[in-house]
Structure 1
Amino acid sequence: MPSLSSAERVRRDPAADPLPAYLAGVVDEFGAHLEYERGLSPHTRRAYRRDVESILRYAVRAHEGGDGSTGDGRVLLHALSLAVLRGWLAESASAGAARSSLARRTSVARTFVSWASRRGLVESDDGTRLAAPRPYRTLPPVLGAEQAADALAAAESGARERAPVALRDRLIVEFLYATGIRVGELCSLDIDSVDMERRVVRVIGKGDKERVVPYGAPAQAALDEWLGHGRPVLATANSGAALLLGVRGGRLGQRAARTAVHQVVAAIPGAPDMGPHGLRHSAATHLLEGGADLRVVQELLGHASLSTTQLYTHVSVARLRAVHDRAHPRA
């Protein structure tokens, strides 16, 4: 049988190719590093592992042997070069990966090669020389203040008959908008995460960082209704301490929470289609437009970088004009 050319080997679909045992073990060690030393969430760890496995599969296919005969993978990993990393990114770009995805994969490659270099698994840390494309920074859609009020009113109206799922969905929308927390953070809340006396919620965010976020009286009213008339109906012996429950009594999944938000917002005329992230963005935008300090919003959202908060909390042209007219001596 004729051997494949180098280009043909690299183009072959790698999805089901198993890694050599040594490389699979390295991926497991890297995953343990991400969990125990970096404290990354399970979702982030899975994404990192997928990208690292993709890098190593590309390296196997691009290896000079051409037949996958890389021994136990030690030699292949030790020679992981800048050319291989660039080739992997080029293949991702050719497959249609967005600039934001390429930027993320570049970051993962840098992290992995840096870790491998410290462990003595690669000859040099070539990841530091890997350039990332600058992702386009697009602004997600937001609800206007009146649209947000209409969405919350619609959720409250739907819960008037005290059907358990309707009460839960009202609380989902109220809490996401009141606090600006992520949907994963919302679904991870336990009953004792909420201090109802002070009206604050303790949230475990990215990197297992804890923060305390306040919420208002409407969200408290939705919480009281859910705890009094909704959760007891759905709760089972397996519900544990979870604040939000699915129809079978287990902890609510993120997909169900997203569906609830989409359905509520879809009923508002003229509102953009959005999920929980859109409510988070809307809450942050409305806070800033109401005069909140950018660093306070950063703390509420749990952003490590202020530049991230600036993207999520763009200021409306109307407010910029109002501030300019009020503050500039030549307005």
Structure 2
Amino acid sequence: MAQAGDSQNPLRQAVAAYLDHLTVERGTARNTVDGYSRDLRRYADHLAEAGVNDLRQVSSDHVVAFGVAMRRGHGDRPALAPSSAARALSAVRGLHRFAHAEGWTGDDPARDVRPPSLTRRLPKALPLGDVLRLLDLPAGEDARALRDKALLELLYSTGARISEATGLDVDDVDRDDRTVVLDGKGGRQRLVPFGRPAREALDAYLVRGRPALVAKGRGTGALFVNARGGRLSRQGAWQVLKSAAERAGITAPVSPHTLRHSFATHLLEGGADVRVVQELLGHASVTTTQVYTLVTVNTLREVYATTHPRALG
């Protein structure tokens, strides 16, 4: 991952080594490594402007100044969103922790620098009626319509991330047992069941849709295939969801995680245990899953406030 000129710059050498460590030894997700790479390039540029090109020269003041620059902007660089600024500081803390553990620095100047606490944003889940309308689209028997319906049904039935769904191969799906093997963050695999409507949509796609799409390419084991016969990209899958939501007349904001959020929220509203939902979503910590319980509590409050005769008393 080292770039030209890095051999003369100890700081950029350390960054490259840390990113390699995340990829090779920690098995960190590719998207996370890419994000950290961008953040640490910003950090290296920030330090270079301060005349620092070696981690041994960094003090806690440098780290704090970087965090402030990310939140407020610096020069011609715009401020980052709070969540992005927090992630950038997390990348910097990880770099310094790694460098100290490797013995490259005598101390860890970022150890006591904490990212600002973020306002917890509740996931946006669609009401069940909106989800059902979305899943009714697209209609039709052409190959792409069959693919899109199978994709949407599987996303909602399993709570898969879009990247997990597009990473599936045909062999990852057991239609007899109605289960799918998903590759989650950090290389963690999980076995997730799916419902009968998803199986019916997959059957239709695999028999009448996918062969026509695969024939346009050079052959692939990918489950979801694009119009050229190659693996459907995350961006392509996101466009499928976005287009279906528009045609279904859904006015609420729709994101790549919309069906995943809806999956979790509807399970909890139906009485599922949060630990079960954690396993289905592939969260490493139940704390991450518990944010969905806040959504269901807020829903209960809204229903109570609008229906109970003494709610406003």
What range describes the TM-score normalised by the shorter chain of this pair? Answer: 0.7 to 0.9
**Matches of residues 150-299 of structure 1 in structure 2 within 5 Å?**
150-155=133-138, 158=139, 160=140, 162-236=141-215, 238-299=218-279
Q: How far, CA to CA, are the matches of 1:316 and 1:165 in structure 2? A: 39
**1:273 positional shift:** 2.8
User: Residues of 2 paired with 1:174 and 1:276: CA distance?
Assistant: 14
Identify if the C-alpha distance between structure 1 residues 52 and 320 changes in structure 2 by more than 3 Å, giving closer, same or farther: same
Aligned counterpart for 1:112 among listed residues 90, 95, 98: 95
Give the whole-Å Cα distance in 2 for the aligned partners of 1:105 and 1:284. Answer: 28
1:307 aligns with 2:302: no
CA contact under 8 A between 1:259 and 1:275: conserved in structure 2?
no
Match of 2:190, SS state, is: strand
The CA deviation string for residues 252-309 of structure 1, in whole angstroms up to 9 with x for no partner, is 1001100110111122335413133011101110111111111100110011121211
Match of 1:92 in 2: 70
Q: Partners of 1:127 and 1:263 in 2: how far apart? A: 44
Partner SS, residue 181 of structure 2: strand
Partners in 1 of 2:268 and 2:43 — Cα distance?
A: 41
- Cα RMSD of the aligned pairs, angstroms, is 2.2
Q: Residues 123, 317 of structure 1: CA spacing in aligned structure 2 closer, same or farther, 3 A cutoff?
A: closer
CA gap 1:322/1:294 in 2 versus in 1, 3 angstroms: farther
- Kindly report which structure 2 residues correspond to 1:120-159, keeping only aligned pairs within 5 A, or say none: 120-155=103-138, 158=139
Unpaired stretches in structure 2, ≥5 consecutive residues: 74-78, 305-313
TM-score after normalising by structure 1: 0.83
For residue 104 of structure 2, give the secondary structure of its aligned residue in structure 1: coil
CA distance in 1, matches of 2:303, 2:81: 37
Count how many residue pairs are aligned between Structure 1 and Structure 2: 295
Structure 1 counterpart of 2:187, one-letter code: D
Contact 2:162 2:257 in 1 (8 A): yes
Could you say what secondary structure the match of 1:315 adopts? Answer: helix
Deviation at 1:114, TM superposition (A): 0.3
Residue 32 (structure 2) pairs with residue 44 (structure 1): yes
SS of the residue corresponding to residue 133 of structure 1 reads coil
- What do the CA deviations read for 1:71-117 (whole angstroms, capped 9, x no partner)? xx4xx321221111111111111122222122212211111100001
Does the 8 A contact of 1:289 with 1:319 survive in 2? Answer: no
TM-score, normalization: structure 2? 0.88
**Offset, 1:239:** 3.4
Seen in structure 2, the aligned counterparts of structure 1 residues 316 and 129 have a Cα distance that, compared at 3 Å, is closer
Contact 2:15 2:95 survives alignment (8 Å): no
Q: Provide the residue aligned with 1:29 in structure 2.
A: 17
- Match of 1:297, SS state, is helix
Within 1, Cα distance between the matches of 2:89 and 2:284?
A: 20
Q: Check the 8 A contact 2:12/2:44 in 1, yes or no.
A: no
Alpha-carbon shift at residue 154 of structure 1 (Å): 2.5
Shift of 1:151: 1.2
Partner of 2:76: none
CA displacement at 1:139 relative to structure 2: 1.7
How far does the alpha carbon of each residue in 1:25-80 deviate from its partner, in whole angstroms, 9 at most, with x for none? 322211110011111111111111221222122111102xxxxxx7xx4xx32122
Between the aligned partners of 1:316 and 1:282, the Cα distance in structure 2 is 15
Which residue in 2 is equivalent to 1:56? 44
1:176: how far off?
Answer: 0.6
The answer to whether the 8 A contact 2:181-2:192 is kept is yes
The aligned residue for residue 8 of structure 1 is: none
Shift of 1:18: 7.0
Q: Are the equivalent residues in 1 in contact too, given 2:36–2:91 (CA < 8 A)?
A: yes
Q: Kindly, what percent of the aligned residue pairs are identical?
A: 36
Q: Does 1:78 align with 2:66?
A: no
